[in-house]
Chain A
């Protein structure tokens, strides 16, 4: 391990020279952790997350991460993350599909407990029958937890979102966790080019005193300094305290917008903003959408792409503005429920222009041709179907 020097987050994320590497999404997670000055990583292995946490375990062995252990299961892992962070540590965990759902009760309590941490979510099928294949329905379970939810298209996003995630999460006006979601296998196990800053640089350590809540002193029983008021004893106080506490979580989510813009260049990326028809997509569906947009442009069809990087906070204003002249909106997704289509429909006045799908799930891939079919459909272009035997 090279000697690492602490550098300003602004420099490390936005200015430092970068070198191109050809690595997987899991390796991109590990490269971000290597530079994030992480105190502790705790996880319980589940496919396809296990490779990421294996690599983070290697970082512990090399000295990049100060502590690391395998928890008894995901509920324990996520609860331990909460404890470590309340005690002042910078913590990372990752999980997938059923593991996320098993840990969800603890994860859903993180924002209210003001836990700044980063959680990698490598999506996979969650419903029976058991499958370990890609499907991002689990992101829909995260949307109402109050945490920041970013959705990475490729290994580059995985690296950038994870490293910036720690910085955004620890901003005093934010101080809620960041989930960096990406598609299991399609991104975690596939290689792509990633521009990385030097590995001999790292973020400054977490300062637990720069916080909107007092840190807990882990050297003595936590009950001695009870940081969070036991608001559930509501017979002793106003119910309004819990209401405004929830508001505070979502206010923090709102305040994260400016930091996401600052460190990640915005909540959305737009290609061909003057188009008549838009593909709105997130995660690796955005990669397929990007290809479809390129094909459509080659065929002279005015199609644009809106890649949604941040699902929470949701870029409602940006999407309304971009789509105000759109004639149709195609939302390709890797899940059956169409959670992104619902989000888009909810923020535009003319939701009838949203074409549901194409959607693939259960481990199915998303061929660009499926998106092209929808594009032809909305432009009224007739194409002969090829039959391949």
Chain B
């Protein structure tokens, strides 16, 4: 049976029904999800590109798997994300550096958080966004809450199997696939007649300039007491 467009921009209402409950299956390798349907990757990429090029305030939300230099692959992926952002007119980058709730409240211009992602979406009037490098569990929570309460077009560039609740979900996405998506986006941009010289996205205005000299445990707020070892302390052996 034709499923039709099951997953479209919201707001879908008070209590969202997960895509998995509606019969949306994750795509097999080489395929992608577009509005809950399994399609060829390129078709999904073109629709995602169109959304990022034509909807208001396109934003990329990189998660810990991109933000932190865990390994060479993460660093390469981060570079690819920056290259992609440079090709999207007026694109911003708002990070999801971790998954803890923010006290006493989040700065929605500085970051996005899976416990209340709508605050960032609504405050910045974001109508198209890309999740990349966010662990699947937290991406799914965020995507569903965004679909529930906002009209944002969500795109998931997933390194694993994809996300039912994103309007566009690509799977097995690493640096190479991000660059492939960038090429499709540039092509779509030309087709739409949008003039744009690639340039890096603006610096996040809410984040203090990082000078790498002033970091102290106090920067970790209420979690400072949990930092072990303390800064400067060297632990040579663990139990």
Contact = CB atoms under 8 A, between A and B. Distances in A.
A251 B160 contact: no
A271 B109 CA distance: 61
Interface residues of B, number: 38
A247 B144 contact: yes
A261 to B, nearest CB: 12
Given A212-B137, A214-B64, A229 B101 contact: yes
Contact of B16 (A172, A210, A236, A244): A244
Interface in A299-327: none
B228 A251 contact: no
Contacts of B135: 211-214
B233 to A, nearest CB: 12
A237 B115 contact: yes
B121 interface: no
A220 B118 CA distance: 33
A254 B26 CA distance: 11
A372 B117 CA distance: 58
Interface in A42-66: none
B115 A231 contact: yes
A373 to B, nearest CB: 40
Nearest to B70: A209
Interface of chain B: mostly helix, strand, loop or mixed: loop
Interface in A277-310: none
A241 B141 contact: yes
B82 interface: no
A224 B118 contact: no
Contacts of B227: 224
Contacts of B100: 226, 229-230
B75 interface: no
Interface residues of A, number: 37
Contacts of A276: none
Interface string B19-46: 1110001100000000000000000000
Contacts of A226: 100, 223
Contacts of A211: 135
Q: Kindly name the residue among B18, B118, B228 whose own CB sees the greatest number of chain A CB atoms within 10 A.
A: B18
Interface of chain A: mostly helix, strand, loop or mixed: loop
A172 B21 contact: no
A22 interface: no
Contact of A247 (B21, B103, B161): B21
A255 interface: yes
B215 interface: no
B179 interface: no
A238 B145 contact: yes
B27 to A, nearest CB: 11
Contact of A172 (B25, B115, B161, B223): B161
A233 B100 CA distance: 11
A239 to B, nearest CB: 10
A220 B141 contact: no
A173 interface: yes
A221 B228 CA distance: 8
A258 interface: yes
A117 to B, nearest CB: 16
Contact of A238 (B25, B116, B140, B228): B116
Given A173-B26, A173-B160, A224-B227, A238 B138 contact: no
B99 interface: yes
Interface string B144-183: 1100110000000000110010000000000000000000
Given A214-B64, A254-B21, A236 B101 contact: yes
A254 B226 contact: no
B18 A251 contact: yes
B136 interface: yes
A228 B118 CA distance: 19
Contacts of B223: 224, 226
Contacts of B228: 220-221, 224
A243 B193 CA distance: 43
Given A173-B26, A173-B160, A244 B21 contact: no
A226 B222 CA distance: 13
A173 B20 CA distance: 11
Nearest to A230: B101
A245 interface: yes
A130 interface: no
Given A212-B136, A224-B223, A244-B140, 16 more contacts: A175-B137, A213-B138, A220-B238, A223-B226, A224-B227, A224-B228, A229-B100, A231-B101, A233-B101, A237-B115, A240-B148, A247-B16, A248-B137, A251-B18, A251-B21, A252-B20
Interface of A: 114, 172-173, 175, 210-214, 219-221, 223-224, 226-231, 233, 236-238, 240-241, 243-245, 247-248, 250-252, 254-255, 258
19 contacts: A212-B138, A220-B228, A220-B238, A221-B226, A224-B227, A229-B99, A229-B114, A230-B100, A236-B104, A236-B105, A237-B101, A240-B15, A240-B145, A244-B16, A248-B137, A250-B18, A251-B20, A251-B140, A251-B164
